[in-house]
Structure 1
Amino acid sequence: MADTVIGIIGGSGVYEIAGLEGAAWQTVDSLWGDPSDEILTGTLDGVRMAFLPRHGRGHVHSPTTVPYRANIDALKRLGVTDVISVSACGSFREEMAPGDFVVVDQFVDRTFAREKSFFGTGCVAHVSVAHPTCPRLSAACVAAAKDLGITVHDGGTYLAMEGPQFSSMAESKMYREAWGCDVIGMTNMPEAKLAREAELCYASVAMITDYDSWHPDHGAVDITDIIATLTGNAEKARNLVAKLPGLLGAEREPCPHGCDRALEFALMTAPDKRDPALLSKLDAVAGRVL
């Protein structure tokens, strides 16, 4: 049995959790660069928690410049075992309405300007992301949402776009009609891939703020409506996060889906050919297999 340590990556509004004991912001050094911000750590209902502002407090980073590798590495160094992404998204489905949550289980990665792996020349590794989120962790998020009366959709495909601009109508219709995606956002890739490489369980809670540009009423949406939805979603997200320690428990068994053993057979480079400099940077992410 190992201790559960829950990591939350999201906006600053998610972190004002009532009852978080010993709350303190701390700097975590990473060999992959500076994380987005300091990390708020504390204990809730006997379970350690770590909150990382994805864009930095004050929204400093664009989706492209978020230091995804440093963020995941920093959480791993803190002992995090389970990562929950909380992020805003647009919807491609009439029945997935603004204010609803979608617990994502698949991704289509359309990002192109981001570093997507901890591995490379000198230490090559291939992990499977056929099922990029952890069913156990996702089920806990769904259960928490249902218990709170939040309208939640269990499963959905998230189109990760580069941004920072939103989709053209032609793109939006293609993603919705030809590709069968359900929601669209800019931040869950390569985050989910890196979490898998770091052998961390990962779940994604996508909070719908609007219909994307495919919707005939898209142009009629007032910015005040979107802000009101964002504010309401943040409150619901805080309540959802606060329920996770009770659902996950203070101790955890090995992941039944193998997320925490993703590197078991992934390393391809012969031991005598591995780059010592890269290996030193992989001490937290891949230390179990190195």
Structure 2
Amino acid sequence: MRTIKAQHQAVSAPIADLITYRALPTPAVEHLDPFLFLNHHGPQQYAPNNAGLPFGPHPHRGFETVTFIVAGDIMHQDSGGHQSIIGAGGIQWMTAGRGLIHSEVSSPAFKKTGGDLEILQLWVNLPARDKMVAPHYRGLQKDEIPAVPHDEGRVVLHAVAGEWLGTAGAVQPLTAISLATIDFRADGQLRLSIPADHTIFCYTIRGKLRVNGQETEARRLTEFNYDGDELHLEALTEATLLLGHAAPFREPIVAYGPFVMNSEAEIRQAYQDYQAGKFGQWPG
């Protein structure tokens, strides 16, 4: 089994009235190449006639955002003309590439009625060769993501990208990045083989798990060494896990605000291009 280097507790980082825990980066861990950033919003309950999510129009360049809606919904709009409302169990995969402007807010229905909300957003780096690709967006509802039962139904793996237990994920990303969310009933077990040279991204959303012999719990990121290819997961309670893996790019990472490039000069160029209107026009 691959050994565990450390477990990192997500840190509280509220945004207005939105409960938020940041799992990456923190003072303990900057990134897990090519995984750059993870915000865990909620869980919390919104009252009727609420203001919803606060993420109005803002730009991105040089990476991809993958958003997992655990509860509630999220309404996406961007300068490329894409729009969608994705509900619980769905995902949004946005390739910012050379640049676009987008917003992520709650739907009018959610703002009117309120309800439970829990959303995770993961930033995944793009290699230098792909940082300036054309932007792309795809929103998928829960029933569009393959659900793979295992261990007599005690484990259900939702295959977002890559191949999981012989099932291809719903998204074919630019780079060979595998991502899934996994729901466990208590005592559910899952064994996976992951290449030893891949970075593993393992974040417990809910519940308690034993991961390669170590217990972990909600809001913890497990960091692995690169010394084995076997991953053994055992649920101690009902639990939900965000799991990914990919070969590291091993390229310079320069991040500033909403841009992630390979040099400071490229960051300056990103700001100049945004200010010059090269990220497209905001609708309306």
The TM-score with structure 1 as length reference comes to 0.30
Q: 1 or 2, which has the higher helix percentage?
A: 1
